[in-house]
Structure 1
Amino acid sequence: MSEQTVKADLQRYLQVGRDALLWKLHGLDEYGVRRPMTPTGTNLLGLVKHLAYVELGYFGETFGRPADEAGPWVADDGSRPNWDMWATAQESREDVVALYRRAWRHADATVEDLPLDAPGRVPWWDGERAQVTLHRVLVHVIAETDRHVGHADIVRELIDGAAGLRAGGDNLPAVDRAWWTGYRDRLERVAREATS
């Protein structure tokens, strides 16, 4: 398999995750995209903001291609925990989505310009682990993106019941709401039976 084919496969999986994350914002108002839905404050727009910085950092600083916008994330000293996991009132949804799309372009340019075995150094990783290749970073960022898309799946379902991979192809069984209610009730019964 050629390097270009491998790159194309990896980029396709990354793009599927990117698109799925942005789809989770569709149809929600400002409160809905910012609403903290877990005890740790997980919210949809914060996930987008975080992944924008992830891409800017890993595909920028790591390979000597820093993006000015990534500066606060790369230099983070831990004194402001989770600052990248939520959008301020002054940061509009459009601002955060535009940041994410700029991060995509920066990341895609890095992938386009460098071979998969290009060496890099992740400054926020310790020891030998910090020495990476573009291939390893691509796999890492795909995994991180998909992990956060999973979070977004659950957060969105909690907000309004929307679930699945994408609009028009949600990859869920073709059943009605009554079926889901019965299914959930059955799982609740089984969980209680298993603990008694």
Structure 2
Amino acid sequence: MPDVPAPPRQPASASVDLRVSKRILWIGAAVYPLHNIARVYTFVMRPKRKEAVLRFLRYTAGLLLIGFFAMVPGLIASSGGGDNSGAAGYVTVVWIAALGLEIYFIVELFSVLLASDHHVLAVETSGASTALVTSQNPQYLDQVVGQISYAIDHPDTEFKVTVQSLHFSPKNYYFGDNVNMYGGSGNVGISG
């Protein structure tokens, strides 16, 4: 029976083992064959603060418009002189719901505004998958990039390091390369 390495155990904390063994890169329980790795690099992942403020303003404006349109039936009923207690209750419910949504939008806004930058090591494969890990020490991540790059060209290389796992919402962070294109025709841009 061949000697198969045991899969790394899942640690209780946010740390994760990153290791190279027998031409395979393990990041926690995820497996990446070294020959499928297209790029390994580090970058600083920054929150999309400007976009979060613009999104908050857009959602708030939409919420106000919906609230005012919800008030129109109540205003029409009150101008007719009839009993408008049902319409007033309806408008109250709409504004309470709007207030609840606005509180949610404020919490979402501040979660992005107060988020910190992360030094990240990214491993991209020749397919669509990308792995991200982080560390408080960016030089440590640069060393790990060097070790992985060395292991790609040297099949006998094996090592194990500990890094931190990264949990984030992709809509709240800039991820990947920023490319400015000038001129040309038929370019297809994908923003993330």
Report TM bin, short chain. Answer: under 0.3
| TM-score, with structure 2 as normaliser | 0.26
Judging by fraction of residues, say which structure has more strand.
2
Normalising by structure 1, what TM-score?
Answer: 0.26
**Greater relative contact order (Cα < 8 A, sep 6+):** 2
